[in-house]
Amino acid sequence: MILDRFRLDGRVAVVTGAGRGIGAGTAIALAEAGADVLISSRTEAQLTEVAQRITALGRRAVVVPADLSDLDQVAALATRAADELGRLDVVVNNVGGTIPNAFLDTTPEYLEEAFRFNVSTAHALSRAAVPLMLRDADGPNGEAGSIVNISSVMGRLAGRGYLAYGTAKAALAHWTRLAARDLDPHVRVNGIAVGSVMTSALEFVAGHEETRNAMEEVTPLRRIGDVEDIAATVVYLASQAGSYVTGKVLEVDGGLDQPNLDLGLPDLDPTTTTTEEQS
């Protein structure tokens, strides 16, 4: 049966940023496909709710509240999963994000922080996970595991205010391609360039009907994405259904060829922007 290829029975996954939104939906979807899941984010209460939904499906859940901007803490999740759940097969690097900012307000430190939170975290966890994946390899043709990175449509599109976020997500997308070459044929590495998805973060701005209508009008499929759109793609990439896919960044964005959220940042005003203000 073709649907059997989407099963993850007996597999163990780590999902970061799993307290809500895409991370929570992904962790639950992996459990529905048969995986046991370690979930991590800052807020224990949110993780506990997600874990309850996982255990209700008959799967095991390990809750690890952590500051995932700390590279040591994020790397430690790999060993924790293997120790408590017996093995490690799937890593979903979902933690990340950066608040949009005007160009002159984007300091070098802000840019470096965006890179660290979106790229260095993924590298730290993946680097810690790969030896464990190789140790537990038992897939067809010696396949050991799957890494899925949550990137963004803003890693390939240009929009005002997204310099730090878009640059970091573009770096994560290319990290995906490069890591896939380093790790093939045993560990597959793929990414998802996510479009606008209705999470609590987006609802803060798109919850207004006028804004949402404007965003949908610019999106070829005329709707905002659902968490399940991304979660289903993760299951595909993590499972045998995606076993012939590596080094790819799938665009799950409703067909966007331009940003669909205008932040309304004004043009620079040469009469008020002084050299002192730029320094």
Catalytic residues: 165
- DSSP secondary structure letter of residue 181: H
d(CA 178, CA 174): 6
Rounded to the nearest angstrom, the gap between the alpha carbon of residue 76 and the centroid of all alpha carbons in its chain is 18
Rounded Cα gap, residues 161 and 164, in angstroms? 8
For helices 21-32 and 227-238, angle between their N-to-C axes, nearest 10 degrees: 50
The conformation of residue 197, written as its DSSP 8-state character, comes to B
Tell me if 157 sits within 8 A of 259, measured CB to CB.
Answer: yes
Beta strands in 117-254 (DSSP E): 145-152, 187-194, 249-252
Tokens of 45: 């209460």
95 phi/psi in degrees, rounded to 5: -65, 140
Radius of gyration of the chain (CA): 19
Residue 244 CA to its chain's centroid (Å): 21
Q: Which helix (H) or strand (E) holds 175?
A: helix 163-183
